[in-house]
Amino acid sequence: MIRQGTFTVEPWSLREIALDLDLLAQSESVFALSNGHLGWRGNLDEGEPHGLPGSYLNGVYETRPLPYAEPSYGLPESGQAIINVTNGKLIRLFVDDAPFDVRYGELRSHERVLDFRTGLLSRSAEWVSPAGSAVRVASARLVSFTQRAIAAICYEVAPVSARARIAVQSQLLANEQLPPGNGDPRAAEALNDVLVPEGQWASGASAVLVHQTRRSKLRIGAGMDHVIDSPRDTQVEPQVFPDGAAITMTTVLEPGERLRLIKFVGYGWSGQRSLPGVRDQVWAALSAARQTGWDGLLAEQRGYLDDFWDRADVQVDGDAEVQQAVRFGLFHVLQAGARGENRPIPAKGLTGTGYDGHAFWDTEVFVLPLLTLTAPEAAASALRWRHAIAPQAVERAAQLGFAGAAFPWRTIAGQECSGYWPAGTAAFHVNADIAHAVARYVDATGDEEFERGPGMDLLTCTARLWRSLGHHDAAGRFHIDGVTGPDEYSAVADDNVYTNLMARQNLIAAAEAASRYPERARELDIDVEEAASWRHAAESMHIPYDEALGVHSQSEGFTRHQVWDFAGTPPEKYPLLQHFPYVDLYRKQVVKQADLVLAMMLCGHEFTSEQKARNFAYYEPLTVRDSSLSACVQAVMAAEAGHLDLAHDYLGEAALMDLRDLEHNTRDGVHIASLAGTWMALVGGFGGLRYRPGMIIFSPRLPDGLARIAFTVLFRGRRLRVEISHAAATYSLATGDPVLLRHHDEEFTLSAGAPQVRPIPPIAPGERPRQPAGRAPVQRRLNET
């Protein structure tokens, strides 16, 4: 686990003031740079030592068979896994023939800083070789938001007190040896030697390699070019070999002199283009980057991020750790989706190989709400990827015997990649999650072109699945049986409340879209009878409720199950999935992650305030949070129920998921959904933001541990700023036409240049709910800085 103090607490950066080799893999994840297309883990420049080397291209994967001891119909036959493509980060340094390696000699100082405003990862070190030669090394790297195929490094070396012969070797390296898997089912098994060399070219200070993946047949090009600044003559020698290229620069430096190297790295890939086509794509990207120059790339990066922070920043007064963490989270979420351009947003972004680089429902439920209100073009891109893989989802539904589309539980290219059938087959709620994200995006942006096109296609194919999957009973109630909801400790259940309520939204949204766009409805073969059947199913949807307990049952019969023995479960037995068989978990009242509580957050109008309070109190003692997706949801609903300090505690857990490595798997990549959930907990929890058709509602309240929060959201071409203190909320419209808002129970119209202040009414919550033994979140009031 990353200890408190590993990183200094600063509002706009993440600073590591000493190198801890035991935490190298975790730091590589949190220091990763990406733009949604290209990702580099935060490995040391010299490449060794490392926890997990990683260079990734979104959508580039290798296939592998999924073996089964007992094959069964409908199980996927092959999986997909993100691969480590050609590493362009490598810059090896030799000082009087001694390789710079932090494990040898004396490392006098070492610092790394990730600056959220510039997008730069900077490093400085002073090192003495085993032979006594001292040098200072400084580097800065970026992955460009404006030139999506480009990354760049500025590398400088200077002797400290004596003349030194310096050799800097800049490399491209494919098929790096990867560490073995660790047995964690959330991690990926290493795929080695998957890149087949096709061509190598080098000239002067530049080189390009082209490889093809062994089974998925994707062609990948990687190239590098350099600008060298040295006070003395420098010998430059290029070399290429099947899996690599090296440009070696050698000179002699006196104290006070330095060698400065600018390295441009470009990537390209395709499943269709020829070898010359991919090679020339890389050369062109490098040429454009060199024309822009290092200073130009820095200026473009700062301009891009200035614009992002102007519309996305969240200010937090009273909890310095959360202030740093929410900006860290916003930066990583932007990196995961900014330039994905119709590619998925994986659960780990492009920061590691956790979950094999797959995208899940996390994207639509946790990440897209943030992007929709801060970077809507990135949200639209992720939804267009779902639209692009809809044909595979239609095939999957047909394979399972249903109409419509059955979107995959986990995938990269569109095919289901989970061999665990209760999730890969029965977690149909992903369909409704996608439809929910479509509806929220359209409502927040007013993007009618998207709604008529990809949006309506997605709403239609998902709605058709529900009508095919569900059935009416003799009393006319509509049931959806045999499904797995968000809580993976309850599988193949009947009438999961979350699934049913989200399916209801899906069916209604599809029917309304068909009514708004009759021509498109005809193109999609939606007739009056089909649309009416969607509405009828939605209206008659069965929602389980336990009258005796006065709470909603997570699924039919859930509340009559035996309660898990929490008191008898020691801390070392968590997460439960690694220590107990699923057959035991499935028949007990134990919740891995917010399920019914998530339904209350996304479908709040389906519950009364009293029902929300009782449900929240009932499910808190059952929820163990063995998933990083849970704390942020519990934060939002705790705030709505008036348990503001508890909400603050859950906010801290979501915010520090990776900066403290709370799930013990940050080494495999950061948790993009939990990082987005930090924003959700602040804006949706303490800001009380909720949607209604054509309107945003705010019900703000702050815990004692926070003095103020402020944030901006984009809504239908408007830039709306909200500032919240304990006493009042101030609403300001920076740009756009007047907008109708609701503050608690009061509606008002907000105009540009005329801020409005509204008092915050008090709330009297009931008794603070308890959590399972040993599973309460850490109290923030005791940890404020």
Residues acting as catalytic residues = 488
Do the strands 695-698 and 739-743 form a parallel or antiparallel pair, or are they unpaired? parallel
Integer-rounded Cα Rg, in Å, for the chain is 27
Do the strands 551-552 and 562-563 form a parallel or antiparallel pair, or are they unpaired? unpaired
CA–CA gap between residue 25 and residue 665 (Å, rounded): 10
What are the residues whose beta carbons fall under 8 Å from the beta carbon of 103, sequence distance 6 or more? 21, 49
Q: Using the Cα atoms of residue 779, residue 781, residue 782 and residue 785 in order, give the sign of their dihedral.
A: positive
Burial status of residue 560 (CB atoms within 10 A of its CB: 0-12, 13-18, 19 or more): exposed
What are the residues whose beta carbons fall under 8 Å from the beta carbon of 376, sequence distance 6 or more? 441, 444, 445, 447, 714
CA dihedral 433, 348, 4, 44 (to 10 degrees): -160
Q: Which two tokens stand for residue 78?
A: 């092959």
672-679 and 631-640 helices cross at what angle (nearest 10)?
A: 20
Q: With contact defined as beta carbons under 8 Å apart, do 124 and 102 qualify? A: no
Q: Which two tokens stand for residue 651?
A: 């906010």
Q: Which two tokens stand for residue 250?
A: 């050698």
CA dihedral 459, 461, 464, 469 (to 10 degrees): -110
Map residue 45 onto helix, strand or coil.
coil
Q: Compute the C-alpha angle 455/460/465, nearest 5°.
A: 130
Q: Compute the C-alpha angle 265/294/305, nearest 5°.
A: 95
What are the strands, taking DSSP E only, across 254-397? 259-270, 314-317
| Secondary element (H or E) of residue 203 | strand 195-203
What are the residues whose beta carbons fall under 8 Å from the beta carbon of 566, sequence distance 6 or more? 590, 621, 624, 772, 773, 774, 775
What are the strands, taking DSSP E only, across 369-476? 471-472
Compute how many other C-beta atoms are within 10 angstroms of the C-beta atom of residue 568: 8
Q: With contact defined as beta carbons under 8 Å apart, do 757 and 728 qualify? A: yes
Query: How much of the chain is in helix, strand and coil states, percent to nearest 5?
Result: 35, 25, 40
Tell me which residue of 478, 486, 531 sits closest to 509, measured CA to CA: 531
Q: With contact defined as beta carbons under 8 Å apart, do 687 and 353 qualify? A: no
Q: Which two tokens stand for residue 681?
A: 């907990």
What are the strands, taking DSSP E only, across 507-662? 545-546, 551-552, 562-563, 588-589
User: Would you say how long the chain is, in residues?
Assistant: 785
b/e per residue 400-412 (b: at least 16 CB within 10 A): bebbbbbbbbbbb
DSSP string of 167-197, one letter each residue:
EEEEEEE-S---PPP-S-TTS-----S-EEE
Compute CA distances 601 → 239, 349, 375, 502, 637, whole Å: 58, 25, 22, 11, 7
DSSP assignment, residue 359? B
CA–CA gap between residue 653 and residue 656 (Å, rounded): 5
